[in-house]
Amino acid sequence: MSGLAVGSINGKKIPSEKWIKSKSDNVYLNIALSINDETDQYGNNVSIFVQQTEEERNAKVPKVYIGNCKVVWTQNEKLVRATQQETKKVPTPNPTNQNNMNDLPF
């Protein structure tokens, strides 16, 4: 089974204590993906969340959702591919409107 999904994550939602520093000074985040049979209103069918420890799962700690994806290609039908018809367009801000540019985080 092969597939390709594209999406994004919200870095501001990641708790700082979840970052793992390796011996070689690299920094990692363990994540989990939930691949759904149906797409949401934006055409996404994959949810991304921070991986929980066994203790967190047993204590029923809520998952920290950090992003979404959509499956865009599959080698076979075992993965559900998000369809273009189900994607709902979201209005984009006018790039010439400077008021929209002042609240960007960068």
pLDDT of res. 47: 96
For 82-95, the pLDDT digits (tens) are 665 444 444 555 55
The rounded distance, in Å, linking the Cα atoms of 85 and 105 is 32
Contact 48, 69 (CB under 8 A): yes
In a domain, 103, yes or no: no
In a domain, 106, yes or no: no
In a domain, 37, yes or no: yes
The domain containing residue 57 runs over which residues?
A: 3-81
Instruction: Please give the span between the terminal C-alpha atoms of the chain, in angstroms, as a whole number.
Output: 39
Paired tokens of 48: 């991304």
In a domain, 99, yes or no: no
Rounded mean pLDDT, 42-63: 96
Residue appearing with tokens 């075992």: 78
Paired tokens of 103: 């609240």
Rounded mean pLDDT, 26-37: 94
Count structural domains, the chain: 1
Question: H/E element holding 24?
Answer: none
Lowest mean pLDDT among 1-5, 40-44, 101-105: 101-105
Q: What is the pTM of this model?
A: 0.69
In a domain, 96, yes or no: no
In a domain, 48, yes or no: yes
In a domain, 98, yes or no: no
Check pLDDT > 50 for residue 50.
yes
